Structure formats: C-alpha cells, structure tokens
A and B are shown apart, each in its own frame.
Chain A
C-alpha cells in the first residue's frame, strides 16, 4: 500500500475528515456569500451542498460514511432550536404584543404550506410515499424526519425536501416581500420562519434581528402545529 492509500484508508474510516470538510466548505461558502453582499441567491447551504455532494460522488464515499463525521454538526440542530429561546426572551415584550397576528399567521401559513404541497404533489401524480415525505417540508429538519417516519414516508427524502424548501424560502423571501411592499420586519420574519424553518430563519437573522426573532418563533410554533396537522392533511388528500 502506498502512503497516500494508507492515509486515505485511515481518513475514510474516521469522522475527522468529513467533519472538517463540512466546516471548511461552509466557511468558504459563507465568505463567498458575504463577498456577494449577502444577495438572496448566495445561500451558504446551497453552495456547501453543491460543493460537498460532488466531492463525495468523485471519491466514491457513501453518504453513511460522510454522515459519521457530519452527524456532530447535524446534532446541533437540537441545541440550536433550544437556543432560539434567547432572542425570543430578549424581544418578549414585542412578541407578547403581537400574539394575535402570530397565532393567525401561524395557522394560515402552516396549513397552506402543508396542504398546498400535498395537494399539488397529488395533482402531479407523484407516488404516495413522496407525497407523505413532502407533507412536513416546511418544518425544521429533526421534527420533519419524525413526522415523515410516523406517516410512512422516506425520512432521508424528507430531509432533502426540507432543506430545498428552506433554501427556496431563503432565496425568495427578500425579493418577494420587497415586491409586495411589506416593511414590517415582524411579519416578514414570521412568514419565512413558518414557510422555510431554520434556513429561512438564518436568512432573516442576516437581514434584521427582529425579523430573525419572529422567524425563530414561526419555526418553533410551526414545528408543533405541523406535527399535529400533517397526519390530518395526508389523510384528507390521499
């Protein structure tokens, strides 16, 4: 065995390589996004996936091997959800004053997101399994996987659909809200949090802290509501 092969065989069985790769690529993607002036299309998640996926494909690395390293980052989704309590607490007075609009926008946004996805997918003739996997697509990843699994969907497909939804929301929210002439940061943030979970929330935090806070609330509340309504919506359409 050559040295290179020996080093590779060590690296490819340890979590270090893919953990490092994920973080380094993300740091680079962030730097590029920043250089592009945080334009909506310059989404760091999208850039990172577009770089890492071909690396795995070219090196013949199965996703499972990659995930052994990347799981340490994936795990932080849970603590990050808990940490959303901090900006919420800092803006509690503003939020408490807005309880009515929040609840109404939550119910409407959550139902429209899930029902429109499931109904459109059915109209396109997609398979039942894909339809079920689509139903929690606006929900934050760890929650969506649980919902999909419980309803008989494919959790790995749901993960990808959730990420794609987040990227779409993060890319479209700024031009969409500007075109609609909406200047209320609370409303803008909340809508993207409900429709595009954590990736939308990350985008909202880049634009405005108040928008980010409301996005975080939208994401957390939608995680609760979607776990309750997704089974009903799937039963209704399928």
Chain B
C-alpha cells in the first residue's frame, strides 16, 4: 500500500510542479492523472502494485467531498437569500448538461459505427 501511495503522490506532485512551473491552466492532479496513465501504459505490471490502493480510494470517493460540502454552514446566509434561483439554476443546468452530453455521445457513436458496450 505504501508503494502505491508513493507512486500516486509522486504523480500528483509532478503534476503540480508542471502545472505551476509551466503556467498551464490545467490543474496539477489532472496532469498527475495523465502522468500515471502514461506510467501504467509503459509498465503494465505497475497496475497490479497500485490497483488495490487506487480502487480503495475510489470506492470511497463520496467521503472526500464531505468536508467541502459542510462548507454550506459558512454560506447559509447567501444561499437562504437566493435559494430558489440557485436551486433552479443547479438542477436545470445539470440535467440539461447530462441530456446534451449523453445524446451527443450516442449520436456520434452511431455515426462512427461504434457498437454498444
């Protein structure tokens, strides 16, 4: 597990350094994700070494959003004053984004002759 943590954190660190050093608009962890993917493609054996830990973190992905979500307490004033428009904006834009995205995916998949999963 400790090896897996070392690999994952190193990728994140390299990603942060690259993002800041090169002034890229892409966030460090996303670059770290790309970097780890490249490492996995170069050395498929690595997948076995870090797979368990990576899946362990991802299995509880929801937990990681709780601290930011609790930040609602610091914004209650603003949110309660504007709760209706904010609720409408969030629900409508999230639902139509999903509809637009899923229909585009299926349409392009059909056009490019891709099969079903």
Q: How far is the CB of A82 from chain B (nearest CB, A)?
A: 4
Given A113-B97, A116-B97, is A187 in contact with B37 using a C-beta cutoff of 8 Å? no
B107 to chain A, nearest CB (A): 8
Q: Which residues of A contact B (CB under 8 A)?
A: 22-23, 25-26, 30, 43-46, 48-49, 52-53, 56-57, 63, 66-67, 70-71, 73-74, 76-90, 92, 94, 97-98, 100-102, 104-106, 108-110, 112-113, 116-117, 120-121, 124-126, 130, 134, 137-138, 141-143, 146, 154, 156-157, 159-169, 172-173, 176-177, 180, 182-188, 190-192, 194-196, 198-199, 201-202, 205, 210, 212, 216, 218, 220, 223-224, 227-228
In whole Å, how far is B93's beta carbon from the nearest beta carbon of chain A? Answer: 4
Partner of A84, one of B9, B58, B66, B95: B58
Per the CB 8 Å criterion, the residue count for chain B at the interface is 77
Give me the 10 closest cross-chain CB pairs, A-B, nearest first: A109-B101, A70-B67, A113-B97, A124-B85, A105-B105, A81-B29, A86-B54, A85-B36, A83-B54, A191-B102
Are B79 and A121 in contact, CB atoms less than 8 angstroms apart? no
Q: Say whether B61 contacts A49, CB under 8 Å.
A: no
Q: Is the CB of A172 within 8 A of B55?
A: no
**Cβ–Cβ < 8 Å partners of A156 in chain B:** 71, 74-75
Q: How far is the CA of A185 from the CA of B116 in the complex (A)?
A: 9
Q: B98: which A residues are within 8 A, CB to CB?
A: 109, 169, 172-173, 176-177, 191-192, 194-196
Interface of B is mostly: helix
21 A–B contacts, CB within 8 A, in A order: A67-B67, A74-B64, A77-B29, A80-B64, A82-B36, A85-B54, A90-B47, A90-B51, A100-B108, A100-B109, A100-B111, A109-B98, A109-B100, A120-B85, A120-B89, A124-B88, A126-B82, A141-B68, A157-B75, A172-B98, A224-B30
A71-B68 Cα distance, complex, nearest whole Å: 9
Of the candidates A22, A82, A195, the one whose C-beta lies within 8 Å of that of B97 is A195
Interface check B91, CB cutoff 8 A: yes
List chain B residues, Cβ under 8 A from A43: 62
Residue B17 is within 8 A (CB to CB) of chain A in the complex: no
Listed residue (B44, B82, B86, B91) with the most chain A CB atoms within 10 angstroms of its CB: B86
Q: Which residue of A lies closest to B9 (CB)?
A: A79
B50 with A86: CB separation less than 8 A? yes
Chain B hits for A101, CB < 8 A: 104-106, 108-109, 112, 114
**Residues of B near any A CB (own CB < 8 A):** 5, 8-9, 11-12, 15, 25-30, 32-37, 40-41, 44, 47, 50-51, 53-55, 57-75, 78-79, 82, 85-86, 88-102, 104-109, 111-112, 114, 116-117
Interface centre among B34, B68, B90 (most CB of A within 10 A): B68
* Contact assessment for B97 and A194 in the assembled complex, using a CB-CB cutoff below 8 Å: yes
Contact of B78 among A67, A83, A130 (CB under 8 A): A130
Give A69 to B54 CA distance when docked, in angstroms: 23
For residue A165, which residues in chain B have a CB less than 8 angstroms away from its CB?
A: 90, 94
